[in-house]
Structure 1
């Protein structure tokens, strides 16, 4: 009768030994989950830190002044005759002669432009017969006004009228000036961003975006055409004074500020 109680007490002991690994595995599992929770907390802190940033959006412009380097003259020849062929023949002769004179000068770019022919009805009340009117224009451009100006009087003496005379910036020259203007605009942006950050007690950490915009191309500077036409009377060359033109660029940027 005595051995029976001893076997009964031994069974719980074996049960406790089998349960020990289970408790250990539970403890290990708890430690692993705690590590994952800590990592999420760190990510949350980083996200919270990002909410302290401030976005600063600024705009600035840079302007460069420079004299134009390209002089352009536009002439037109016009003739009227009872037939379209006769009117066109006269205009063709005038234009060919003017272009031949221009092609003989080094440093000029010459091109023929619009050509029109129209019919004008007879005016019986004023005794004006019906006519055909032909007209064509030519454009002459020079990088040096001293080359083109002496030619203007000669072309006007060939019965061509000067309709336009203006200074402008050539494309290569304007591109170089635009780059300078962009540099000025960006430099101003940097200075303003630093000043704003200092005033706010913050620091510029990075630039999120930058956008450069080219302002409208300067309009050519037209000369006094009336004076140019009057010059044809005495065959003297019209004057074309040079005035500086502006090239402007705009820069927009977004700066990121942190404490």
Structure 2
């Protein structure tokens, strides 16, 4: 076993050898930079959603509930007969109506919803028009299906990576670097619908009276793919 003085001498010799090496010899110097690249594409909506509702008021809550139920059942039965249309029930609620003093219940009011969805805009538009003889429209909107969104996101992925590489090279050149290496890269998607004009109340009233099938302009949404990453720039 080496004595303490012998170990101290060897340790001092090692430190001296390290100190004799040139500082930073052949060691590249790196600077880390966070970058983002973004690519996007306008994609047409391929799903149509319609919200219809039945609302009524009566002093007899049992009769009111029965009338609403019959209206809903008829709407659901009619919607199920249209190929390609998905139908589901939305919210349903009832609440009391009070007199002017707010002390006595004079009637009950109930509202129930039916939700319709389809990729066949013409069929759903006609079904909506037919159902509005007994129901009212609560809203209409359009969206991109999950399958379509994934398809376009996959196509944008290569573009996002290529855009990130181009930006990384540009940043390297701006700093006067001789190269870079990728530290990490994260890919994320996003998107938002473009503004669409909403149907005016006057138009809805006319639609309820005559029930024509509405011409559909579904609009588009912007699908975006972001490439966020960090690079290390090698300086000369």
TM-score, with length taken from structure 1: 0.75
Query: The residue matched to 1:90 in structure 2 has which SS?
Result: helix
Q: What corresponds to 1:103 in structure 2?
A: 80
8 Å contact from structure 1 (residues 62, 183) kept in 2: no
Tell me by how many angstroms 1:252 deviates: 1.4
Map 1:140-159 onto structure 2 (within 5 A).
140-157=116-133, 159=134
Q: What corresponds to 1:174 in structure 2?
A: 149
Q: Which runs of 5+ in 1 are unaligned?
A: 1-25
8 Å contact from structure 1 (residues 74, 164) kept in 2: yes
Bigger CA drift: 97-106 or 243-252?
A: 243-252
TM-score, with length taken from structure 2: 0.82
8 Å contact from structure 2 (residues 192, 221) kept in 1: no
Q: What corresponds to 1:256 in structure 2?
A: 232
Question: Which structure exhibits the higher relative contact order, with contacts defined as CA atoms closer than 8 Å and separated by 6 or more residues?
Answer: 2
Q: 1:149, 1:239 → 2: CA distance?
A: 8
Map 1:181-192 onto structure 2 (within 5 A).
181-192=156-167
Greater percentage in strand: 2
Q: 1:41, 1:96 → 2: CA distance?
A: 91
- RMSD of the alignment, in Å? 3.0
1:49 partnered with 2:30: no
Q: What corresponds to 1:161 in structure 2?
A: 136
Which structure is larger by alpha-carbon Rg, 1 or 2?
1
Q: 1:142, 1:239 → 2: CA distance?
A: 15
Residue of 131, 134, 151 corresponding to 2:107: 131
Q: What corresponds to 1:207 in structure 2?
A: 182
Bigger CA drift: 234-243 or 148-157?
A: 234-243
